[in-house]
Amino acid sequence: MTQLHRIPSDLIEAYHMLSAARRCYVLQSLGNHQQEPLSVRDLAQCMTALEERIPQAAASGDPYRSVYNALTQTHLPKLAKADVVEYDSKRKIVSSGNRIQSIKRLYVTTHAVYRLQQYDDQYGYYRSHLER
């Protein structure tokens, strides 16, 4: 029988932060914009454009409101509680929190491994080299 090892609660929490695409988009946005803080409005427009595959200037209406509400009611408070971002709910702005770098490293690493796995599934390169 395989012996199990206890998973650190910090790791479980970190993966939970990354389990929603919109939270990952927040991490990307904060990493891509040197000017902080970001307005929730701009963040929601950017995400709406990405999700709807439309220009950012056209991101409005119900899709925009849905993203904006999800950010303000769920994702940003959750990221703020975990100290990944600082979220000012009155001014509707968001900036990097104390733990953002560690969560971003985990995101980048996980994303790289995922892409490697996709490549390997398509071409079998790494698998064939490991089997030698």
Q: Domains in the chain: how many in total?
A: 1
Query: Average per-residue pLDDT in the chain?
Result: 89
Q: Are 49 and 58 in contact (CB under 8 A)?
A: yes
Q: Ramachandran region of residue 124, left (φ > 0), alpha (ψ -120 to 50) or beta?
A: left
- 123 part of a folded domain: yes
Q: What is the mean pLDDT of residues 107-131?
A: 75
Element (H, E) at 96: strand 93-96
When mean pLDDT is compared across 62-66, 90-94, 109-113, 121-125, the lowest value belongs to 121-125
4-40 pLDDT, tens digit per residue, is 889 899 999 999 999 999 999 999 888 776 667 999 9
Per DSSP, the three-state class of 104 is helix
- 98 part of a folded domain: yes
- 108 part of a folded domain: yes
- 118 part of a folded domain: yes
- 125 part of a folded domain: yes
54 pLDDT more than 90: yes
Q: Domain limits at 86?
A: 9-33+69-130
What tokens does 125 get? 């390169």
- 57 part of a folded domain: no
Closest CA to 43 of 58, 55, 28: 28
- 25 part of a folded domain: yes
User: pLDDT confidence of 46, banded at 50, 70, 90?
Assistant: very high
- Residue 13 contacts by C-beta under 8 Å, 6 or more apart in sequence? 82
Look up residue 18 and give its DSSP letter: T
- 48 part of a folded domain: no
- Residue that wins the pLDDT comparison between 33 and 115: 115
